Amino acid sequence: MLKILKQKAVSAPLLRAVVLSSRNYSVSAKQMNVREALNSALDEEMSADHKVFLMGEEVGEYQGAYKVTKGLLQKYGPERVVDTPITEAGFTGIGVGAAYYGLRPVVEFMTFNFAMQAIDHIINSAAKTNYMSSGNISVPIVFRGPNGAAAGVGAQHSQCYAAWYGAIPGLKVLAPYSSEDARGLLKAAIRDPDPVVFLENELLYGEYFPVSEEVLDAGFSIPIGKAKIEKEGKDVSIVAFSKMVGFSLKAAEILAKDGIDAEVINLRSIRPLDRSTINASVRRTNRLVTVEEGFPQHGVGAEICASIVEDSFGYLDAPVERIAGADVPMPYAANLERLALPQVEDIVRAAKRACYRSVPMSAAA
Amino acid sequence: MAIYRLARSRTITRFLKTKICPFENIHERFITPNHSLFDAYSSYKTLAADFTRKPHELWDKTANILAFRRFESARAGEQAEAVAYTDDDDDDENQEQDPHDVVQAIDFPGGRVTFTPQIKFISESTDKRVPCYRVLDDDGYPIPGSRFEQVDKETAVKMYKSMVTLQIMDHIFYEAQRQGRISFYMTSMGEEAVNIATAAALSPDDIILPQYREPGILLWRGFTIEEFANQCFGTKNDSGKGRQMPVHYGSKKHNFVTVSSPIATQLPQAAGIAYSLKMDNKEACAVAFTGDGGTSEGDFHAGLNFAAVMEAPVLFICRNNGWAISTPISDQFRSDGVVVKGQAYGIRSVRIDGNDTLAVYSAIRAAREMVIREQKPILVEALTYRVGHHSTSDDSTKYRPLDEIEHWKTARNPLARFRKWVQRHGWWTDEEEAELRGSIRKQVMNAIQVADKTEKPSLKELFTDVYDRLPSNLQEQEKSLSETIKKHEQDFPADVPL
């Protein structure tokens, strides 16, 4: 990476001073949206390992239902980018079978809501098989697709499955937020010998994030099971994943104006959950807010709360605040949908409650 | 686009049958006050001018047409073309051939279809059921005119001995469960021929995806009785590390994918494995088993449909043994068994007598050869009977008559039938029979006794293989557990080795 910087410096002498003096803000930082990040990760992994292949509805000729697999059919051909009939159970089963044999399928679900039709194969065929076959049959498969709420798509298209898959031993569950997360985690997932559930977010696909040269390198990957501290702080820890990380960062800006220095943690990995990073953070700030879009009962926040109580109870100065989606199937009407999902104001209020600043208890609309 | 018209009276019916009208006359012939098919026919008339165009390239079936065809099928939706051509076959030989006779066909997504002016439903059943391929009669005599693949003495004797071994093993393990020595067992009684003859007909490179009533394949491939016992007892010598309940065998070196309890999940998995074999250009196929009940699962549809679309070399074998626990096949499906379902997916299928060892052997050999040569799936329905209960948790006398079970156990026994054929060739004697049965019995009893006393897997096997590498949370738990055990040694159960 240093070599590349040096080369840039040599070829653009005018910029040399700028490059060397502003190392923290890469002037040459590319902006990449999550869709491009995923596409480039798939492309690079497919070219690096001929065993990797894609499967899913509309991934080929349609260029992907969300255009994540754009251009890949043209580049790799129909044998490696397989358009499937509409049968999640079918193509998930086929993907698992191919993985049993030793190929590395990346199975796309149009959304994880539809993956419920294939969930037996994900859990009983993929997650448990390495264990039940005493290590003889490994399942190096990746299940990916949009998860959680989009905008105005109703109950059967908006559920978050992080908690469901996060409960299953044998699976790894990842939830990227930024383009860097998307690239690094997807590459790690494809290279991983275990089955990985990769929960993307439809609304993040078009969002741009800066990516450094290191991120753009074909060998880049992010270790699975490590959370990232997006913003350091000392007053309250806000733990979130996927889209809610963005909301939490915005909430942190608002809280900063009120003198509350929030630390924002991007989980990146639901299973394995990075308990040590969360605990270390809470031991510094003594207050915790968890944020998720999914249903509250048995959610990711519940697990984080239990983990803190088990490991760092004495460090808590306030009860853990849990922000989650409303305990209702997602309504369609825009005003109701807004109320059913956590908003930035909810995170701000929760952080203030955790810091014992007086705010009304109910989240008034 | 309703081009045909419902026949409302006999005269019109006969009218329609005899004269297939050229385009310009349609308008006059089919006008009635109540029906206005005008729109359809008027647009049809303008399209008629296009019928001279012959887009042959659409129907070119070259290898890489898969992607190409999808573009074309989208195009076909935009311009539905009317293509007319003269029909050489005459429906009605009594009629004089009208020089204007044309059989009309039309393009739809999916291809060209001819049309018929009368509604004709495909019947839900045919008068005659699909016949089953059978070579030996109930007394083990070759049926006159039967064609089958000859087996030499070595193969025939090995097949018969394996069938006997399977039968004895099933009996004794079943009893062991009844005595409380293992928790569960499933027999393959009555289906020994399907098991062994299939195994003999395949190559060891073919990857087997079993349902759960195919241990005979493992037996044929060299899984020892001791290994069967170790799995059922979950001992430390079990290659499965005691992870699975009894009869859920698996063996990588024998190309036998571990048995998975949910029904029919192995069918789409087989298509996936077959697709991978195809990509690897291997001279082998995937062989997936299911019972009659398994064909009701969604995965059956997905697996077969997919295998056909992907042109995956899978051999689907359905053991139609008449019962899915207590559900008879009359409650399972209303089709003529399973063999007719193949055509619905575009899969070549055959029905065989699953209790006829030679028929099974020949049919599987032929089917396997076709699967590998043509790289497409084939469906084999083996008719048989489940003599035993579904499992040790079932008592089938509760839902089926005792004499039915007896009949299949004795008069229709696949072992007896094949034995007669083998003995008639002078390849087997009664003395060898007695000796074999005695020695297998002893071997099985011994294996059970040894397995019963063998240590169970060590504690560390609780945590391994959840993932490729032991994750940190499990490492912590393992450590914490071993520390607790050290602290309270006297409370820790003696039969769990550390």
Residue B44 touches chain A, beta carbons under 8 Å: no
CA distance B28 to B19: 13
Q: What is the pLDDT of residue A360?
A: 57
CB atoms A120 and B268 under 8 Å: no
Q: Is A121 a catalytic residue?
A: no
Average pLDDT over residues A317-344: 94
CA distance B81 to B112: 9
CB atoms A96 and B272 under 8 Å: yes
Q: What is the pLDDT of residue B195?
A: 96
Q: What is the pLDDT of residue B101?
A: 55
Counting residues of chain A whose pLDDT is more than 70, the rounded percentage is 90
Average pLDDT over residues B166-195: 96
Q: What is the pLDDT of residue A358?
A: 62
Residue-wise burial string across B343-359, b where 16 or more C-beta atoms lie within 10 A, e elsewhere: eebebbbbbbbbbbbbb
Q: Which residue of B has its CA nearest to A140?
A: B468
Residue B371 has pLDDT above 60, yes or no: yes
**Which 3-state string (H, E, C) describes B122-144?**
CCCCCCCCCCCECCECCCCCECC
pLDDT of B318-357, one tens digit each? Answer: 999 999 999 999 999 999 999 999 999 999 999 999 999 9
* Cβ pair B318, B130 in contact under 8 A: no
Residue of A131, A174, A226, A278 to mutate, testing the B interface (most B Cβ within 10 Å of its Cβ): A131
pTM: 0.78
Q: What is the pLDDT of residue B62?
A: 41
Q: What is the pLDDT of residue B47?
A: 36
* Cβ pair A198, A241 in contact under 8 A: no
B:300-319 residues touching chain A, CB 8 A cutoff:
301-303, 305-306, 309-310
Residue B84 has pLDDT above 80, yes or no: no
Inter-helix orientation angle B192-201/B414-424, to 10° = 50
Residue B361 touches chain A, beta carbons under 8 Å: no
CB atoms A89 and B250 under 8 Å: no
Q: What is the pLDDT of residue B98?
A: 56
Residue B185 has pLDDT above 70, yes or no: yes
Q: Contacts of residue A169 in chain B, CB cutoff 8 Å?
A: 466
Residue A7 has pLDDT above 70, yes or no: no
Closest to A144 (Cα-Cα) out of A77, A221, A59: A59
| Minimum mean pLDDT range among A225-234, B33-42, B238-247 | B33-42
CA distance A334 to A232: 34
User: Is residue B37 very low, low, confident or very high in pLDDT (cuts 50, 70, 90)?
Assistant: very low
pLDDT of A296-305, one tens digit each? Answer: 999 999 999 9
Q: Contacts of residue B298 in chain A, CB cutoff 8 Å?
A: 87, 89
* Cβ pair A57, A108 in contact under 8 A: yes
A:219-248 residues touching chain B, CB 8 A cutoff:
225
User: Is residue B12 very low, low, confident or very high in pLDDT (cuts 50, 70, 90)?
Assistant: very low
Closest approach of chain A CAs to the CA of B247, in angstroms? Answer: 13
B:257-296 residues touching chain A, CB 8 A cutoff:
257-258, 260-262, 265-277, 279, 286
Q: Contacts of residue B303 in chain A, CB cutoff 8 Å?
A: 90, 93-94
What is B153-453's CATH topology?
Rossmann fold (3.40.50)
pLDDT of A232-264, one tens digit each? Answer: 999 999 999 999 999 999 999 999 999 999 999
CA distance A295 to A280: 26
Cis before A272? omega within 30: yes
Q: Indicate which residue of A88, A200, A321, A337 is catalytic.
A: A88
Q: What is the pLDDT of residue A103?
A: 95
A:160-189 residues touching chain B, CB 8 A cutoff:
169-170, 172
CA distance A165 to A171: 7
User: Is residue A361 very low, low, confident or very high in pLDDT (cuts 50, 70, 90)?
Assistant: low
Average pLDDT over residues A197-201: 98
- Cα B488 to Cα B180, B458, B482, B484, distances in angstroms: 30, 18, 10, 6
CB atoms B299 and A82 under 8 Å: no
Residue B151 structure tokens: 């087996």
Residue B19 has pLDDT above 50, yes or no: no
Residue B404 has pLDDT above 90, yes or no: yes
| Minimum mean pLDDT range among A278-282, B90-94, B457-461 | B90-94
DSSP B59: G
CB atoms B262 and A120 under 8 Å: yes
Residue B37 structure tokens: 């098919």
- Cα A214 to Cα A15, A210, A211, B157, distances in angstroms: 20, 12, 8, 66
Q: Contacts of residue B66 in chain A, CB cutoff 8 Å?
A: 78
Q: What is the pLDDT of residue B229?
A: 96
Q: What is the pLDDT of residue B417?
A: 96
3-class SS shares of chain A: helix, strand, coil, % to 5: 45, 15, 40
Residue B73 touches chain A, beta carbons under 8 Å: no
Q: What is the pLDDT of residue A357?
A: 81
User: Is residue B498 very low, low, confident or very high in pLDDT (cuts 50, 70, 90)?
Assistant: confident
Name the β-bridge partners of B117.
none
Counting residues of chain B whose pLDDT is more than 70, the rounded percentage is 79
User: Is residue B472 very low, low, confident or very high in pLDDT (cuts 50, 70, 90)?
Assistant: confident
Question: Which of the pair, B315 or B105, is modelled with greater confidence?
Answer: B315
| Minimum mean pLDDT range among A46-50, B97-101, B428-432 | B97-101
B:162-221 residues touching chain A, CB 8 A cutoff:
207, 209
Q: What is the pLDDT of residue B273?
A: 96
Residue A90 touches chain B, beta carbons under 8 Å: yes
Closest to B209 (Cα-Cα) out of B267, B251, B249, B252: B267
Q: What is the pLDDT of residue B259?
A: 94
CB atoms B269 and A170 under 8 Å: no
Q: What is the pLDDT of residue B17?
A: 45
